[in-house]
Structure 1
Amino acid sequence: MGKRYFCDYCDRSFQDNLHNRKKHLNGVQHHRAKKAWFEFFRFSDAATVLNEERTKEPCRKFLQTEGKLNAEAEGCWRTFGDPDRDGSSNERSIDEWLSRREKKLDALTSGRVLNVEEEECAETIEIPPYLLSIPDLPPSLHPPPTGGWRVTVHNEWG
Structure 2
Amino acid sequence: MGKRYYCDYCDRSFQDNMHNRKKHLNGVQHHRAKKAWFDNFRDAAAILVDEQSKKPCRKFLQTGQCVFGTNCRFSHMTEREMEHLKQLAAGHGSRGPRAVSGKRGAFSEPTVEEWLVKREKRRAAQGRGSALNDEDEDEDEKRLGLDLPLHFLSIPDLPPSLLPPPPGGWTTTVQSQWG
TM-score (norm 2): 0.30
Higher helix proportion: 1
Structure exhibiting the larger radius of gyration computed from Cα positions: 1
